[in-house]
Amino acid sequence: MIHVQKSYEQTDTGTLFVVPTPIGNLEDMTYRAVRTLQEASAIAAEDTRNTKKLLAHFDIHTPLFSYHEHSTDAREQECVERLKRGEDIALVSDAGMPAVSDPGQRLVQAAIDEEISVVVLPGANAALCSLVGSGLPTDTFLFYGFLPRKKKEKEHVLTQLFSRGETVIVYESPFRVKETIQAIAQFGEDRQIAIARELTKKFEEYIRGSAKDVLQYVSENSLKGECCIVIEGLDDNEVTDELWWSHLSVVEHVDYYIDEQGMRSKDAIGKVATDRKLRKRMVYEAYHIQ
């Protein structure tokens, strides 16, 4: 079944406006975003305390209600019912584009399921800023979001990401960034990476270099603020060589050599490590923690 939405067609229902907010510099708020927040019936905010400060700065007096990762289904349904009654609701996160690594995605999907118009405003986004500022290729890229906190789970995800041809973007807390760069360096010390932090703020900083050099820098310097890590993908020759298995996970890749080629698991793991330009230990752990 297909559903075609004409965003500005007159209907009896309201519209869910997805409104990006500044990720640091308040001057990045657009005229359209301010007007939308002023004209909405209500604003669904990830943290009403943070959003109140933003609204005060721009002299916006629209009523607020909270909508975050711990919101119940009842709160989500309440919001949908308000939209169905004809109210326009603006969805905002604490910073940046709502619904990107953000619980607002559930509300967007709920509105779409009820055939309620969803209008997304362009605006600030940390991932794209960090990608462009990294100096790494931008023609194709993969956004992952926040990496798992547990070490083994993180390494398992990085095993998958390090086998990609695209530039990869991940978010990371400043409290875990050193540990994450250590994990990245284990996959390839020479892989080019960049850390972007404090984006759009006075102390905005890009740290660019090989994983080995960046690891040395973060080991010697304390980083503050949320970080974006941008990781170089495999080069064209490497990607061409691995196309036949690019649709496989690491586990499926190992199983292929075992089931189809009759290899022992040890040899299959070694072959996969060679194919994917990964350390054998990384493939071993990825294969055995499933």
- pLDDT in 10s for each residue of the chain, 290 residues: 777 888 878 888 999 999 999 999 999 999 999 999 999 999 999 899 999 999 999 999 999 999 888 877 888 899 999 999 999 999 999 999 998 888 889 999 999 999 999 999 999 999 999 999 999 999 999 999 888 888 778 877 888 888 788 999 999 988 999 999 998 888 788 899 999 999 999 999 999 999 999 999 999 998 888 899 999 998 766 654 445 776 777 888 888 888 877 888 888 888 888 888 787 887 888 888 65
Q: Which is nearest to 183 in space by CA: 218, 145, 140?
A: 218
Three-state SS at 231: strand
Joined tokens for residue 178: 């050193």
Question: Greatest CA span in the chain, whole angstroms?
Answer: 69
pLDDT score at 283: 85
Cα 49 to chain centroid, rounded: 24
Check residue 138 and report its DSSP letter. Answer: -
Give me the pLDDT at residue 53, please.
Answer: 95
- DSSP H or E segment with residue 205: strand 205-210
Residues in a beta bridge with 120: 18
What architecture does CATH give domain 126-233?
Answer: 2-Layer Sandwich (3.30)
Q: Are 207 and 228 in contact (CB under 8 A)?
A: no
Report domain extents, the chain.
Answer: 15-120, 126-233, 237-288
Compute the distance between CA of residue 16 and CA of residue 67 in angstroms, rounded to an integer.
Answer: 13
Specify whether the CB–CB gap between 16 and 10 falls below 8 A.
Answer: no
- What pLDDT shows up at residue 242? 47
Pinpoint the alpha helices (H) of 40-72.
48-57
Q: Which CATH number fits domain 15-120: 3.40.1010.10, 3.30.565.10, 3.90.950.20, 2.30.110.10?
A: 3.40.1010.10
**Whether 270 contacts 181, CB under 8 Å:** no
CA distance 238 to 256: 20
Query: Which amino acid does the sequence have at 155?
Result: E
